Amino acid sequence: MEFFLIHVLVVAVLLLIVARIVPGIEVAGFGHALIAALVLGVVNALVRPVLILLTLPITVITLGLFLLVINALMLRLAAALVSGFEVKGFWPALWGSILLTLFSGGLSLLF
């Protein structure tokens, strides 16, 4: 449980950083980023596995690159569910999901 809370806090901070880097992603404040991180975790746990299973042939054909599209869709879905967190279009969602993946992967390597 403690690891989950730390992970949500880290993702919230990363969402704020990504919102400053990627035009088209806006977060109203840390509270909204915290809720968005929590919703993103739930969406990734519940919806993402179903989408991965349904799009498995496309993912295999693209050698896994379609997973980037799925990550972008999860970010857009989280933004649709949380007020104060906006993702304006597919391309900001794609770049935002790539940066979130890179930043969280880099932090997990450090710790």
Q: What is the pLDDT of residues 36-86, one digit of tens each?
A: 999 999 999 999 999 999 999 999 999 999 999 999 999 999 999 999 999
User: Predicted confidence band at 108 (pLDDT cuts at 50, 70, 90)?
Assistant: confident
H-helix or E-strand spanning residue 85: strand 85-87
Tokens 């794609």 -> residue: 94
- Amino acid type, 53: L
Quote the CA–CA distance of 11 and 13 in Å, as a whole number.
5
The rounded Cα 7 to chain-centroid distance in angstroms is: 13
What are φ and ψ of residue 31, in 5° steps? -60, -45
Quote the CA–CA distance of 95 and 4 in Å, as a whole number.
25
Q: Per the structure, how many domains does the chain have?
A: 1
Question: What is the extent of the structural domain holding 68?
Answer: 2-110
Quote the CA–CA distance of 19 and 33 in Å, as a whole number.
10
Quote the CA–CA distance of 83 and 12 in Å, as a whole number.
14
Mean pLDDT value across the chain:
94
Residue 2 reports pLDDT greater than 90: no
User: Predicted confidence band at 92 (pLDDT cuts at 50, 70, 90)?
Assistant: very high
Q: How many CB atoms lie within 10 A of CB 100?
A: 21
Q: Kindly tell me the burial class for residue 50, based on how many C-beta atoms sit within 10 Å of its own C-beta (0-12, 13-18, 19 or more).
A: exposed
Residue 15 reports pLDDT greater than 90: yes
Q: What's the whole-model pTM score?
A: 0.91
User: Predicted confidence band at 25 (pLDDT cuts at 50, 70, 90)?
Assistant: very high
